[in-house]
Structure formats: structure tokens, C-alpha cells
Amino acid sequence: MKKSKLHEYPDFLNEYWFNLVVAKGKSERTVEGYLIDIRTFLRYLIYMDSEEEIDFEKISIRNFDVNRLENVSLQKIYEYIYFLQGERKNNAKTISRKISSLKSLYKYLTKSVMILKNDPTTNLELPKLKKTMPKYLTLEQSQDLLESAEDDGNYSARDYCIITLFLNCGMRLSELVGLNLSDINFTENKMKLLGKGNKERYIYFNNACRESLLEYINSRENSVQDPDAVFLSRKNRRISRRRVEQIIDNHLRKIGLSGQGYSVHKLRHTAATLMYQYGNVDTLTLKEILGHESIATTEIYTHLSSNILQNAAESSPLANIHPKKKKEENE
């Protein structure tokens, strides 16, 4: 996180940030999300104690006293949840994330540094989130997306390669943007990725990835500013996350999928789903490929496949044919 951002937070949150990034190995992007969630809670406490009308979004937490968190009750947390539902219009998933961030902070303050004794989130109960199936492209849509980048001007080789890696390897956006030339082993067809929490993992890539990588790398100019970066922007620097998102959005629009909930992350879902459905890849292998910490995260793709198989069985033209004996009984 930028130093200017850290100046917006009280000292105990800066120390919390340092603990998560350095000691726990969390990515700065992840920890920044935690701090933004916690900032909302601290603003809420200030907002509710104020006797004057104040703009919630402009409330400064820079001088927030950590000892104020000692007196927060479980009831106050439930009132905060009600505030998030009513005033902030947050959905269940967002609320669950914000409470998870708050739990993490209280655990740190009471267990790690022992600044506080009271943890009001210990017995906090939240309704279980309804599991939803991941949105993904079909095989035909994936092929259309690749074709949309084949003849797309000076950057077609780059864009085609980006889409190919997303759809075949299931890598995260941050992993693709951070990919270096030195991370790729063309002799063994494998590459090193830097995943969540700065955890490294190696994945193998297929011939489609190999060919698209070689074609792009051999056709592009070398970067002076970022000589080891694989994917470059028009300014010949390492490509940004936002630019990759724009590239994917542009090609989704070309094949008529704009505004339908598809995104870069949905290409990761697509890769996992296609591997499971067509490649006979088991969940443990898929877990390693995707870099999931828990097998439970990976198992959503097995549920998805079971759903499809069930629908296929029910759509059979013989699904409603009953035994003659049963038919006669009905008559």
C-alpha cells in the first residue's frame, strides 16, 4: 500500500497491516481490502457517537483510539450489521466479508499483541451464505473469444496470448500481470506463478499456450523499463491490471457477451470448469493448478458438473416414459 494511504489510518492499523503483510505473507492488495472494511466500522462508531450531522464518507479515523474497541459489545456488532443492510445496502456476501475483516482485527488485538481483552466477535453468528455456482463461458464461447483476438491489429498476438493463458491455465489476473520471462521454462513447458500471499507455484502449460507465448514474445519489442515483464502495454512497460481487464471486456463485447456478468475472473472459472468437464482432472489436481488453499474452494466445480449431468439426464427424450404396468394402473 502507498505510504500516503497508511497516513490515513491510526497507528494500530498500520501495525496490523505490517503484521499481515510481513508476518502472515498476505498480499498488499488483500490487506488493503481488510483495512477499507475496518475503516467502515470505525467510521460507524464515530458516526453513531456524533451529535452533529456528518458526511460518513469523509469521517477521518486517523486519530481513532484503539481503546474504544474494548467497549464494543456483541449487540453493537449486530447493530452495525443492521446498518450495513439498511443504510449501506450491502448484500450478505459483502457483510460477511466485512465482519470477517473485523474478526481478524479483534483476533490480532486480543491474541497477537494483547492490546485488548474483549473480543465481541467471538460468539457472533452470521447466516450461512447461499452457495452459488460460478459463472463461466461454454466451450463454444471460449473458442469465439479466442477468435475475436486473432486478427485485431498490432496487439492481436498479445491479446490472443493473454486469453489463451487465462482459458488454459486458470491463472489469476495478478499472476498474469506479474509473469516474467525468467518464470517461463520452454524446455519443460512450465511456468512459475506468484499467487496469493506471495506463494509461488509451478504449473505446466500446453502447446496452445507455448505457441501463443512464443509468437507474442518473438513479435514484440523488448522493454527497457521492464526487461523481464512478459506482457507489455503500448508504452512498452509492464501491462497493468486495469488494461488487461479492458482488453478482456473489449473482446467479450465483440462476441456479444458484454454486460452479462463476465469478467477476467470468470475466465479463471471457465478454465477450471473446462478442465474438470473435458479433461477428467480430479479436484486435488485442480486445487494445485489453481493455487487454492482449501479443497472446499475447488469442489464448487464438481458441484457444477453434477448439476450439468443431472440436467442432461432429465432432458432425455425417454425421461417421461413409464412402465406399461404403471400406465395401466393410472388408467
Q: Catalytic: which of 5, 76, 192, 196?
A: 196
Which amino acid does the sequence have at 148?
S
61 Cβ contact partners less than 8 Å away, ≥ 6 residues apart: 8, 9, 10, 13, 39, 42, 43, 46
Neighbour-count burial for 295-314, b at 16+ CB within 10 Å, e otherwise? eeebebbeebeeeeeeeeee
Q: Assess contact for 251 and 159: CB atoms under 8 A.
A: yes
Q: Which of 56, 45, 39 is nearest to 5 (CA)?
A: 39
Give 169-238 as a 3 state SS string: HCCCHHHHHCCEHHHEECCCCEEEEECHHHCEEEEECCHHHHHHHHHHHHHCCCCCCCCCECCECCCCCE
Active site residue 97: no
Q: Catalytic: which of 43, 98, 158, 172?
A: 172
Distance of CA 272 to the CA centre of its chain: 14
Q: Catalytic: which of 268, 269, 276, 287?
A: 268
Q: Catalytic: which of 103, 220, 254, 265?
A: 265
- Alpha-carbon distance of 155 to 21, in angstroms, equals 36
Bridge partners, 238 (sequence order): 232
Q: Catalytic: which of 76, 103, 210, 292?
A: 292
Active site residue 301: yes
Active site residue 98: no
Q: Assess contact for 237 and 229: CB atoms under 8 A.
A: yes
Active site residue 68: no
Kindly state the cell numbers that stand for 221: 519489442
Active site residue 196: yes
Q: Assess contact for 136 and 263: CB atoms under 8 A.
A: no
- Give the DSSP H or E segment for 324: helix 324-330
Active site residue 268: yes
- Which positions are catalytic? 172, 196, 265, 268, 292, 301
